[in-house]
């Protein structure tokens, strides 16, 4: 008898965005003429930068000739991309990360989901609440949690993030082994200061813990004084892994390219307390289970770091931040409390009511899709998330509809 991994039975519900898609599809079926504007999932809506397209075409042409054809590449990624990423994203900001500490992959979702398999199943895991669901669900699947009860999994440490701490969790009083941090944050759109990250690095050193730092939205930070990478914090290279993605930076959501930084000095421990190199462990895992991102995709990603590419991605992020401003101001005019949307493409709005109820109301009355905060954790109840990834006209139309509906209903 083939028996399933029993931990899958603990998973509370379908993946959040699958549930939303199903509800939207049902609504569309019942209301075929409704012109639904989607501000739920964070999917890019602009074409790839011209620099990437040129590099893509050129490298596809290379595949058309025996002399320049590429077969399997290095599992860790081609040096040209690793070197460009190290230079532009890290050394330029004073963080001493070298190209061979970067592992190119096909997505930060896979990497943030897969990394946990390097750690013991009895590791104590902490996540912020609200949280990007991948961190939680992959630890549930791996058996690192207890059962689901009253909106939470047993055994997980939830770092409550709310208005009182500006949705930025501080290190807990208790020791944990593994902590997921995400800044700029999905879903709340908030950012962490250097002082906060210094406290986290200090905590991780003290408890011999590891920080998994998801910086998928780093390209949206507009204040140079804010840390763009955790490696700007001294000592972070011993206690932190960082995840980056080209998805929201350059529109690679469909093209797929990302990377994970594991400094060679980053430590983890065997049961007897002896040190192990996390870099070597991930390299072992990566070379066993992954065969690299395609050559044309890596060439296209490399072009992000060309002078033209950097200019283009800056203006793409500026465009979406312009959308975010419209959303922010729209809700502020309606008298609602709004977070995020300044260094992030996500806007976190306090609805004051049940977040799935608000989602349904907005869908049925304004034909606008948002993401219910409760889907990101118990602390997300009473909030909804709006994504700024859309055409300007769609954002303006959505906000006009929302204002109409909410003004008529008295919010």
Q: Contact positions toward ligand PLP, by CB under 6 A?
A: 42, 107-109, 112, 132, 182, 186, 214, 216, 245, 247, 253, 258
Cβ atoms within 10 Å, residue 88: 15
DSSP state of 170: P
- Nearest-approach distance from CB 387 to ligand PLP, in angstroms: 9
Closest residue to ligand PLP, based on beta-carbon distance: 107
| Residue whose CB is less far from ligand PLP, 112 or 161 | 112
- Nearest-approach distance from CB 81 to ligand PLP, in angstroms: 14
- Nearest-approach distance from CB 107 to ligand PLP, in angstroms: 3
CA distances from 387 to 42, 112, 325 (A): 6, 21, 11
| Residue whose CB is less far from ligand PLP, 296 or 366 | 296
DSSP state of 92: G
Phi, psi dihedrals of residue 371, rounded to the nearest 5°: -115, 125
- Nearest-approach distance from CB 111 to ligand PLP, in angstroms: 8
| Residue whose CB is less far from ligand PLP, 217 or 366 | 217
Helical ranges in 182-246 per DSSP H = 194-207, 236-239
Phi, psi dihedrals of residue 324, rounded to the nearest 5°: -60, -40
Distance CA 73, CA 78 (A): 7
> Both tokens of residue 91?
């050394």
Q: Going by C-beta distance under 8 Å and a sequence separation of 6 or more, which residues neighbour residue 236?
A: 197, 201, 211, 230
Q: Angle at CA 324, nearest 5°, toward 342 and 242?
A: 55
Report how far Cα 116 is from the mean position of its chain's Cα atoms.
16
Phi, psi dihedrals of residue 260, rounded to the nearest 5°: -125, 135
| Residue whose CB is less far from ligand PLP, 331 or 376 | 376
Burial of 150 by CB count in 10 Å (0-12 exposed, 13-18 middle, 19+ buried)? exposed
- Nearest-approach distance from CB 43 to ligand PLP, in angstroms: 8
| Residue whose CB is less far from ligand PLP, 196 or 247 | 247
Count of positions (residues) in the chain? 411
- Nearest-approach distance from CB 247 to ligand PLP, in angstroms: 3
Residue 350: enclosing H or E segment and its boundaries?
Answer: strand 346-350
- How do beta strands 178-182 and 368-369 pair? unpaired
| Residue whose CB is less far from ligand PLP, 203 or 376 | 376
Distance CA 392, CA 320 (A): 8
- Nearest-approach distance from CB 67 to ligand PLP, in angstroms: 33
Q: Going by C-beta distance under 8 Å and a sequence separation of 6 or more, which residues neighbour residue 215?
A: 182, 183, 228, 229, 230, 242, 243, 244
| Residue whose CB is less far from ligand PLP, 239 or 301 | 301
| Residue whose CB is less far from ligand PLP, 214 or 302 | 214
| Residue whose CB is less far from ligand PLP, 114 or 355 | 114
| Residue whose CB is less far from ligand PLP, 49 or 107 | 107
Task: Answer for the pair 300, 255: CB distance below 8 angstroms, yes or no.
Answer: yes
- Nearest-approach distance from CB 219 to ligand PLP, in angstroms: 12
């Amino acid at each position: 008898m083939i028996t399933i991994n029993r931990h899958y039975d603990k998973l509370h519900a379908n993946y959040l965005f699958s549930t939303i898609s199903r509800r939207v599809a049902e609504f569309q079926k019942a209301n075929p003429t409704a012109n639904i504007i989607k501000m739920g999932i964070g999917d890019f809506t602009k074409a790839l930068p011209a620099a990437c397209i040129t590099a893509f075409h050129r490298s596809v042409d290379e595949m058309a000739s025996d002399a320049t054809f590429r077969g399997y590449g290095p599992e860790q990624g081609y040096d040209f991309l690793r070197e460009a990423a190290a230079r532009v994203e890290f050394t330029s900001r004073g963080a001493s990360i070298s190209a061979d500490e970067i592992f190119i992959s096909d997505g930060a979702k896979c990497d943030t989901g897969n990394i946990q398999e390097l750690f013991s199943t009895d590791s104590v895991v902490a996540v912020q609440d609200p949280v990007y669901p991948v961190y939680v669900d992959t630890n549930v699947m791996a058996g690192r949690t207890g059962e689901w009860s009253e909106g939470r999994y047993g055994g997980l440490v939830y770092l409550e993030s709310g208005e009182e701490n500006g949705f930025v969790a501080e290190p807990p009083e208790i020791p944990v082994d593994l902590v997921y941090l995400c800044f700029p944050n999905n879903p709340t759109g908030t950012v962490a200061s250097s002082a906060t990250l210094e406290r986290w690095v200090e905590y991780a050193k003290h408890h011999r813990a590891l920080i998994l730092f998801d910086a998928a939205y780093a390209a949206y930070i507009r204040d140079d004084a804010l840390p763009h990478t955790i490696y700007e914090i001294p000592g972070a290279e011993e206690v932190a892994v960082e995840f980056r993605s080209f998805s929201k930076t350059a529109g690679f959501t469909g093209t797929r390219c990302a990377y994970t930084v594991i400094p060679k000095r980053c430590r983890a421990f065997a049961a007897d307390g002896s040190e192990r190199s996390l870099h070597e462990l991930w390299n072992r895992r990566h070379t066993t289970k992954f065969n690299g991102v395609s050559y044309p995709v890596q060439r296209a990603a490399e072009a992000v770091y060309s002078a033209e590419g950097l200019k283009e991605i800056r203006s793409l992020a500026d465009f979406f931040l312009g959308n975010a401003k419209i959303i922010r101001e729209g809700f502020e005019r309606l008298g609602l409390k709004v977070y995020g949307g300044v260094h992030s493409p996500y806007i976190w709005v306090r609805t004051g009511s049940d977040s799935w109820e608000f989602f349904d109301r907005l869908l049925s009355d304004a034909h606008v899709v948002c993401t219910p905060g409760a889907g990101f954790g118990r602390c997300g109840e009473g909030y909804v998330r709006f994504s700024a990834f859309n055409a300007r006209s769609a954002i303006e139309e959505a906000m006009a509809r929302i204002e109409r509906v909410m003004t008529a209903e008295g919010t």
